[in-house]
């Protein structure tokens, strides 16, 4: 059997694993904290070490396995044609020729794409969007990213910017976003902004169990805390989750009217809120988008929590290799 190493470089974790060429199995998956504060060179060194150990472990578990190459998912913006990471504020990488570095240090051919694109491609290849001709993925974490599968292939646009769903305006004069714009979807529905909206309500006097959950230190409220409180029936937390669903419903409704996909996959911790999120989200989409677009589309949580990016990175390698063959 032939395998591809998938590497997912996240702001929080580095994740690697070896994926069978047909997507049927993930071997030797491993992860460690990114610890970006240790510096760019240190992150790269540890990433290469993690990758080498995964390759060795794969050869141990699957004797005779052929490792075809390495696919890497990295935070953008990127130049996928040149294999260069243009800028990652969190990691301190500027114009880093990551594809070549990985190729040289691991001695294997390599391919590079955006982390959100990899996550969506992974979900499309072996996860929740499998079999769809047109699929959209939206990844919700510290930011909101996304990726588009159109006519059965990852869509990059003219300069690898496509899929920046988090930075579509849903409210022209709305909340300030860290991108500098106003009213971006991300300014409402990213993890930190979910926590911030709860905090604002508490500071405005709303009654909630959230302060008790963080022992009075309001700075410790995170999106996870909000989901936990919502699961426990806290009214404020439920309201925050419900509002999050509506904001996501506006953004996803827009995507349905423009792309008319078969499936929208929502990835990230926000899916932990379960029906508290998905029921009002689907209601808002149905209210906003055209009926034939709503009828054509499933809106589902990701099925590969934690490994979608690794599967997708491996698939990126396979696709780029096939395209250049």
Cite the DSSP H helix spans in 204-307.
210-213, 223-231, 235-259, 275-288, 291-296
Cis (ω within 30 of 0) for the bond into 128? Answer: no
Tell the smallest beta-carbon distance from residue 117 to a second copy (Å).
12
- For residues 234 and 90, what is the distance between their CA atoms, to the nearest angstrom? 34
Tell the smallest beta-carbon distance from residue 166 to a second copy (Å).
9
Q: Does 48 bind a second copy (CB under 8 A)?
A: no
Near a second copy by CB under 8 A: residue from 12, 35, 95, 257: 257
Give the interface segment with a second copy, choosing from 2-10, 158-166, 221-229, 265-273 (CB under 8 A). Answer: 158-166
In the complex with a second copy, which residue's Cβ is closer, 99 or 246? 246
Near a second copy by CB under 8 A: residue from 256, 265, 281, 318: 256
Helix (H) or strand (E) holding 265, with range, is strand 263-268
Q: Does 315 bind a second copy (CB under 8 A)?
A: no
The DSSP bridge pattern shows strands 13-20 and 26-33 to be antiparallel
Nearest partner of 192 among 166, 230, 216, 173, judged by Cα: 166
Residue 180 CB partners (closer than 8 Å, separation 6+): none
Q: Does 57 bind a second copy (CB under 8 A)?
A: no
- For residues 206 and 198, what is the distance between their CA atoms, to the nearest angstrom? 9
Give the interface segment with a second copy, choosing from 208-216, 232-240, 274-282, 294-302 (CB under 8 A). Answer: 294-302
Q: Does 160 bind a second copy (CB under 8 A)?
A: yes
Tell the smallest beta-carbon distance from residue 264 to a second copy (Å).
11
Q: Summarize as ranges the residues that interact with a second copy (CB under 8 A).
A: 77, 133-134, 146, 148, 150-151, 155-165, 167-174, 179, 181, 246-247, 250, 253-262, 287-290, 292-293, 295-297
């Amino acid at each position: 059997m032939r395998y591809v190493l998938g590497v997912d470089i996240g702001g929080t974790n580095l994740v690697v694993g070896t994926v069978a060429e047909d997507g049927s199995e993930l071997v030797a998956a491993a992860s460690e904290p990114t610890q970006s504060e240790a510096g760019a060179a240190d992150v790269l060194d540890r990433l290469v070490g993690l990758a080498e150990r995964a390759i060795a472990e794969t050869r141990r578990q699957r004797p005779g396995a052929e490792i075809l190459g390495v696919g890497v998912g990295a935070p953008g913006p990127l130049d996928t044609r040149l294999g260069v990471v243009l800028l990652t504020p969190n990691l301190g990488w500027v114009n880093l020729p990551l594809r070549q570095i990985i190729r040289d240090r691991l001695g294997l051919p390599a391919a590079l794409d955006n982390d959100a694109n990899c996550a969506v491609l992974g979900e499309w290849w072996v996860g929740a969007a499998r079999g769809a001709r047109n699929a959209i993925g939206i990844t919700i974490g510290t930011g909101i990213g996304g990726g588009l599968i159109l006519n059965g292939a990852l869509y990059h646009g003219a300069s690898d910017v496509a899929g920046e769903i988090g930075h579509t305006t849903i409210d022209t004069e709305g909340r300030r976003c860290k991108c500098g714009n106003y009213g971006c979807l991300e300014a409402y529905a990213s993890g930190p902004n979910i926590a911030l909206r709860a905090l604002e309500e508490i500071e405005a006097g709303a009654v909630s169990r959230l302060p008790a959950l963080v022992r009075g230190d309001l700075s410790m409220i995170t999106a996870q805390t909000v989901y936990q409180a919502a699961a426990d029936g806290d009214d404020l937390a439920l309201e925050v989750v419900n509002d999050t669903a509506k904001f996501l419903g506006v953004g996803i409704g827009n995507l349905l009217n423009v792309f008319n996909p078969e499936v929208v996959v929502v990835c990230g911790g926000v899916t932990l809120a379960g029906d508290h999120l998905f029921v009002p989200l689907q209601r808002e989409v149905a209210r906003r988008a055209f009926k034939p677009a709503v009828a054509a589309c499933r809106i589902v949580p990701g099925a590969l929590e934690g490994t979608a990016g690794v599967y997708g990175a491996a698939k990126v390698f396979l696709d780029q290799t096939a395209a250049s063959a």
